[in-house]
Every structure is written in structure tokens, then in C-alpha cells.
Amino acid sequence: MDDKCIMENLLLTTKGVCDLYLHGTIESSTQNVHQVFDRALEDSLCIQDDIYQKMSAKGWYSTEQAEQQKIQKVKNKFAGM
């Protein structure tokens, strides 16, 4: 397993953890539980961002610039709602 594959696995796992903590935060029945999940979510999002930044710097996670025309089309679609 190469470094890129390891980083991809870490990123996917961290994203899954973020999803779980988000739902834990939303579904919390008490303020104390909510705060614990919220802090864990914030920490996990920071870890996810660090992994993404490292992958992006190595060219392992590339993104595309959205076309302005497509952005405007989506804006117009939801503006009427």
C-alpha cells in the first residue's frame, strides 16, 4: 500500500467519523452530550482539513473550477423556491 492509498483511506475514514459526530450532535438529548459531540466534530473536521491539505499539496486530491455558467444556473434554480 503506497502513501497515496493510505492518505485516501485516512481521509475517507475521517469523513465517516465527521458524519457520525454530526448526527450525534444533531440527535443529542442533553446539552452536555451535544457539547461533547460538537467538540469531537470540530476536532475531526480539523483533522480532515489537514489530511486534505497534505493530499492537495502532493497533487493527490485535485479539484476543478466550476464554470460560472453552471454556478449561475444552480443559483437561478434555487432562487425561485
Q: How much is the pLDDT for 16? A: 97
pLDDT in tens, 2-51: 999 999 999 999 999 999 999 999 999 999 999 999 999 999 999 999 99
H-type helices in the chain, by residue range?
3-27, 31-57, 68-79
pLDDT in tens, 42-70: 999 999 999 999 999 999 998 888 899 99
pLDDT band at 80 (very low <50, low <70, confident <90, very high): confident
Q: How much is the pLDDT for 57? A: 95
| DSSP for residue 28 | -
Split into its structural domains, the chain has a count of 1
- In this prediction the pTM is 0.77
Phi, psi of 51 (to 5 degrees): -60, -45
| Domain around 40 | 3-79
